[in-house]
Structure 1
């Protein structure tokens, strides 16, 4: 069954002193394009994280974010530099006496002077979490994003197979109309034979050789058979258990080649109409295949 390369997965651990969250996002890409952002205490685990993600997700433009935050009780607190506050207050008070100013607001003013209020920042290197707690969260997030991808893949499967079925229907119309096309060709050839046979320069052998070449050039029987086979192979590949996005892309190219050849050889307005519609459906398929794992 198909899987989309687009997905999102997350996991979170709320402890008494801290919180750890893992988020994984993915978009379509030709290969694995992975970016990882982690706290400092996991810097030595990036290689292991990359291996886990690549093994689980295989392909896509993937971003992994691991965040570690301390709870409010562990965050920065304000402290007062008492000696500096006293110094500011004394200086302000002396200036107020000199200019006979009101002193009622001096304390508030001194409290907000530079470096009086200071924040005690927690040491970023100190934390209560470790890899043994982050690893299961990463695995949970990977499982979540793969579930997301699988659900998207089911919708993609339904959509793509509707386009394949439409191409089959159009090919059946081509098959139905082909005898009419060939009869028109034969009629035109008979008319040409009647005209040419009266000419004194008419060469029967040369004419028969050119007619055989002409009929083979207009014959689309092999292309129709190959197109049916490609459509069948595409359908089989869609339901394989392993990732098949690249293979489906190659099969789509082969389908397009047969459709184009039918259009170029048919030399018939009705079949050309069916060919254009088949190309439209194939373009829809190619657009969706780009997002398949």
Structure 2
């Protein structure tokens, strides 16, 4: 909050008012003060005793230098401390009320603008979430036959290396099962669905849940990255990249929410 010095006592009150409208992020508020063109806003103090001392000093100096005096009224008035002008900066009750009303009006207008933008954001969230759901369904299909593809690939490599007959079939089966287990992403898919459901619920609630939404975008991204690291097919890898792009777009939009 940036207030003129005369309004500094109202800083805490202004901050409390703004806290009712803004709950996350940073808000800068600038308040300027213009005085009316009125003589009531200024007080002019004449100090003849100071002027007399200046005159005495000049006379003494002129005598010492043996020169004639030449000090007119304008020159005397411009001497330091002869004339003091004090601005009347005291804030009245009416001015305080006007200031607080102006700040609240600005905060309310900002809040209304955010509400309009929020409706647009909600539509964008719904679009991105629908696209992410479709991508998740596609990934589930691609993951479904990943185990069988891995078995076929390993067995084919054994055949190409001429090692099929020399290896223990049971040991080969165990090794393949171990590789398939490492490539299994069923848990990641389940968590993705869960996080996506929570995200959708928050969006539908219409509440300002920026921190929670940001948390779920991070979790979504983490699960998708894990699936990508376990991917055994180019199709699944492409889907992971597409899903990450959608989640990043979600995260960008979340930054606009409190």
Task: Give yes or no for TM over 0.5.
Answer: yes
Corresponding position of 1:238 = 203
Corresponding position of 1:151 = 116
Q: Work out which of the residue numbers 75, 82, 90 in structure 2 matches 1:116.
A: 82
Q: TM-score, normalised by structure 2?
A: 0.71
In 2: Cα distance, 1:218 partner to 1:123 partner = 74
Q: Work out which of the residue numbers 53, 76, 81 in structure 1 matches 2:42.
A: 76
Corresponding position of 2:222 = 257
Aligned residues: 252
Higher helix share: 2
Residues 131, 219 of structure 1: alpha-carbon distance in 2 compared, 3 angstrom cutoff: same
Corresponding position of 1:202 = 168
Q: Does 1:60 align with 2:28?
A: no
Higher strand share: 1
Q: Does 1:39 align with 2:7?
A: yes
Q: Secondary structure at the match of 1:129?
A: helix
Q: Work out which of the residue numbers 215, 221, 232 in structure 1 matches 2:180.
A: 215
In 2: Cα distance, 1:276 partner to 1:119 partner = 71
Corresponding position of 1:141 = 106
In 2: Cα distance, 1:132 partner to 1:99 partner = 61
Please report how far the alpha carbon of residue 263 of structure 1 lies from its aligned counterpart in structure 2 after TM superposition.
Answer: 0.8
User: Unpaired runs of 5+ in structure 2?
Assistant: none
Please report how far the alpha carbon of residue 57 of structure 1 lies from its aligned counterpart in structure 2 after TM superposition.
Answer: 2.5
Corresponding position of 1:31 = none
Q: Please tell me whether the aligned partners of residues 89 and 107 of structure 1 are also in contact (alpha carbons under 8 angstroms).
A: no
Residues 78, 130 of structure 1: alpha-carbon distance in 2 compared, 3 angstrom cutoff: closer
Q: Secondary structure at the match of 1:140?
A: helix
Corresponding position of 1:224 = 189
Corresponding position of 2:251 = 286
Please report how far the alpha carbon of residue 248 of structure 1 lies from its aligned counterpart in structure 2 after TM superposition.
Answer: 0.9
In 1: Cα distance, 2:225 partner to 2:252 partner = 18
Q: Secondary structure at the match of 2:88?
A: coil
After superposition, give the CA deviation of every residue in 1:241-265 in whole Å (9 maximum; x if it has no partner).
3221122122213212320221122
In 1: Cα distance, 2:6 partner to 2:201 partner = 41
Q: Secondary structure at the match of 1:236?
A: helix
Corresponding position of 1:187 = 152
Please report how far the alpha carbon of residue 119 of structure 1 lies from its aligned counterpart in structure 2 after TM superposition.
Answer: 0.7
Larger RCO, structure (CA 8 Å, separation 6 or more): 1
Corresponding position of 2:237 = 272
Q: Does 1:99 align with 2:67?
A: yes
Please report how far the alpha carbon of residue 139 of structure 1 lies from its aligned counterpart in structure 2 after TM superposition.
Answer: 3.7
C-alpha RMSD over aligned residues: 4.2
In 2: Cα distance, 1:93 partner to 1:106 partner = 13
